[in-house]
Amino acid sequence: MALVEIFKAILLGIVEGITEWLPISSTGHMILVDEFIKLNMSAAFMEMFFVVIQLGAILAVVLLYWKKLNPFTFDRGVSVKQETIEMWLKIIVSCIPAGVIGLLWDDVFNALFYNYQTVAVMLIIFGILFIVIENYNKGKRPRVNHLSQITYTTAFMIGIFQLIAAIFPGTSRSGATIVGGLLLGVSRTVAAEFTFFLAIPVMFGASALKLLKFGFNFTGPELMILLIGMVVAFIVSVISIKFLMGYIKKNDFKIFGWYRIILGVIVLLYFSARTIIG
């Protein structure tokens, strides 16, 4: 396998590790990066790769938040264990909308909406929403300042926002769920943490479906490219998550809103120009 293909896999892993957790749409960035850095692999492999590479990113969440995620460690009190189990139940409730709709109509949504127009429009719309919501919330105290304060109703409503991201690429799963949390009175840090945890079953489920669809008959180069992408995505995700949690303790999400708007305009202009030119 050519060294250049390994370099491409590393770049894609870096993009995934950064954009999966920052609310700026990993899909939008992957579409742009794939336009200029195409792996010399089959279309079937690439469809699977762009989903399964997320497993590397999700393992970063498991590593960083293991104590909060695991209710069975011996050094935790009964009440803390119960809180953790309840949190997982709320995560399951949040997964229901996207899980049910995604299983039934995932292929339909991909055929209808997986295009640059949808990605660009959703980047811009949710970029505007971030700015509007942050301006609206300025000076207001959030109602939910701890994960345990998220109710089952709030969890389900956040799941509805995740469903929007599942239907419309470019929305950003993390962006949609954070916007939903902010609208529902959840603090920035809690909204971000709940989004990280919600990604665990979602990404494992999506990756399992793509692997089953692709099959497990990897060639040597395919397996190496996938593993390189996942390992790089894991390392970069650790850095990205730490950066985001540190950033939002002192700042709001408006910078990401402006970034999304600019990126959406770039995507729209670039692909429109390419279509016109030929």
- Structure confidence by residue, pLDDT tens digits, 92-124: 999 999 888 877 887 888 888 888 899 999 999
pTM of the model: 0.90
At 261 the pLDDT is: 96
At 216 the pLDDT is: 84
At 71 the pLDDT is: 85
Which whole number is the average pLDDT over 195-218? 89
Query: CA separation (Å) from 170 to 66, 73, 77, 238, 248?
Result: 29, 38, 41, 23, 22
Question: By percentage, how much of the chain surpasses pLDDT 90?
Answer: 63
* Better pLDDT: 47 or 86: 86
At 1 the pLDDT is: 62
At 143 the pLDDT is: 94
Residue 185 pLDDT grade (very low, low, confident, very high; cuts 50, 70, 90): very high
At 245 the pLDDT is: 96
Which whole number is the average pLDDT over 185-198? 96
Domain range summary for the chain, segments of one domain joined by +: 1-277
Does the pLDDT at position 235 exceed 90?
yes
At 36 the pLDDT is: 84
At 215 the pLDDT is: 86
DSSP collapsed to 3 states, the chain: CCHHHHHHHHHHHHHHHHHCCCCCCHHHHHHHHHHHCCCCCCHHHHHHHHHHCHHHHHHHHHHHCHHHHCCCCCCCCHHHHHHHHHHHHHHHHHHHHHHHHHHHHHHHHHHHHCCHHHHHHHHHHHHHHHHHHHHHHCCCCCCECCHHHCCHHHHHHHHHHHHHHHHCCCCCHHHHHHHHHHHCCECHHHHHHHHHHHHHHHHHHHHHHHHHHHCCCCCHHHHHHHHHHHHHHHHHHHHHHHHHHHHHCCCCCHHHHHHHHHHHHHHHHHHHHHHHHC
Residue 31 pLDDT grade (very low, low, confident, very high; cuts 50, 70, 90): confident
Which whole number is the average pLDDT over 60-84? 84
At 151 the pLDDT is: 96
Does the pLDDT at position 205 exceed 90?
no
Does the pLDDT at position 80 exceed 80?
no
CA angle 127, 32, 237 (to 5 degrees): 70
Question: Of 63-77, 209-223, 246-260, 263-277, where does the model show the most confidence?
Answer: 246-260
Does the pLDDT at position 74 exceed 70?
no
Which whole number is the average pLDDT over 47-65? 93
Average pLDDT in the chain: 91
Q: Is residue 30 within 8 Å of residue 57, measured between CB atoms?
A: no
List the one residue out of 48, 50, 63 whose CA is nearest residue 20: 50
Does the pLDDT at position 76 exceed 80?
no
Question: By percentage, how much of the chain surpasses pLDDT 70?
Answer: 98
At 258 the pLDDT is: 97
Q: Is residue 201 within 8 Å of residue 92, measured between CB atoms?
A: yes
* Better pLDDT: 114 or 154: 154
* Better pLDDT: 209 or 63: 63
Residue 278 pLDDT grade (very low, low, confident, very high; cuts 50, 70, 90): low
